[in-house]
Structure formats: structure tokens, C-alpha cells
Structure 1
């Protein structure tokens, strides 16, 4: 027998979740039920958030990859901290 669970959530979150579920061919109820079943089966909750970089950070990362590929602004590797300090201080 099915039962009803009432929860409070932000309307925008609900709408976006419903939209994403629909794009995946699922109802929001199916998604929530799957999560509840997983909780019961594994007796743990995992939260995973994919990192989303800002456009500013994406540009910096792109520039860093480009610099690295061209060996620009790349320091050598150091075996000991004193060598790194001498390199940084120009000695």
C-alpha cells in the first residue's frame, strides 16, 4: 500500500527538480522513491555536488593550462623546501 509524504521545499527547487526528472523520463515521485529505497537499502545518505566553476575561474584555469602547455610561468620541481625558497627569492 502506498502512503503520502508531505514535505516543505522551495518552489524553485521543486520546479527545477521536476523539470530535470522529466528530462530523464521520470516523475519527481519516482526520483524521491528511488532515493528513499536507497536510504533503506544502504542505511546511509550520500551527498554529491558536482563542482561548478564560475566563468572567471574557468578563464583562469584555461589560461593556466595554456601556460603549462607552453612551459610559461612554470617553476621547476624541488626536493627540499630550502631549494624552493632560494628559487623564489632569486638566490
Structure 2
């Protein structure tokens, strides 16, 4: 037997959640039902937000990948600390 749950939430939260659910091919109802079933099954709630890089950090990472692809600004690899020290003395 199905039942109806009425909840209060911010319109913006609902709209954003609905958009994300639809992008995943799900209804908001399906997402909420899945969360409720998981709560019952596991008897715990997990909250996590994947950290997102800032635009600045995304740009720094992009530049680093490009530099690496061009072997620019790439650190040398040494087999020992002695080899590294020897390299530094010749500079």
C-alpha cells in the first residue's frame, strides 16, 4: 500500500533536486523513496558532499596537466638522495 508524505522544503532546493534527478533519469519521488528505503535497510543516514574545485583551482590543475604533457615544469626522478644532491651541486 502506498502512502503520501508531505514535507516542507525551500522551492529552490526542490527545483534543483528535481533537475538533478531528471538528469539522472529519475523522478524526485524515486530519489526520495530510494533514500527512505536505504534508511530503513541500513538504519543510518550518510551525508556527504563531494568537494568541488574552485574555478581558480580548476585552472591551476589544467595548466599543470598541460605542462606535464609537454614535460614542462616536471620534477626529475632520482634513484637516491645522493643522486639528487649530486644533481643539485652541478646547478
Aligned residues: 90
Are residue 5 (structure 1) and residue 36 (structure 2) matched? no
Q: Distance in 2 between matches of 1:35 and 1:4?
A: 15
Aligned match of 2:53: 53
Q: Which residue of 1 aligns with 2:19?
A: 19
Instruction: Determine if the alignment matches structure 1 residue 39 to structure 2 residue 39.
Output: yes
Unpaired runs of 5+ residues, structure 2, are none
SS of corresponding position for 1:35: helix
**TM-score when normalising by structure 1:** 0.64
5+ long unaligned stretches in structure 1: none
Aligned partners of 1:73 and 1:23: how far apart in 2? Answer: 39
| Alignment partners' CA distance in 2, 1:14 and 1:47 | 18
CA distance in 2, matches of 1:45, 1:30: 17
List, as ranges, runs of 4+ consecutive aligned residues in structure 1 with deviation greater than 4 Å: 77-81
Query: What is the RMSD of the two structures over their aligned residues, measured on CA atoms?
Result: 3.3
Structure 2 length normalisation: TM-score? 0.64
Report the Cα distance in structure 1 between the residues aligned to 2:11 and 2:77, rounded to whole angstroms. Answer: 52
Structure 1 pair 47–80 and aligned structure 2 pair: CA distance change class (3 A): farther
Are 1:64 and 2:76 an aligned pair? Answer: no
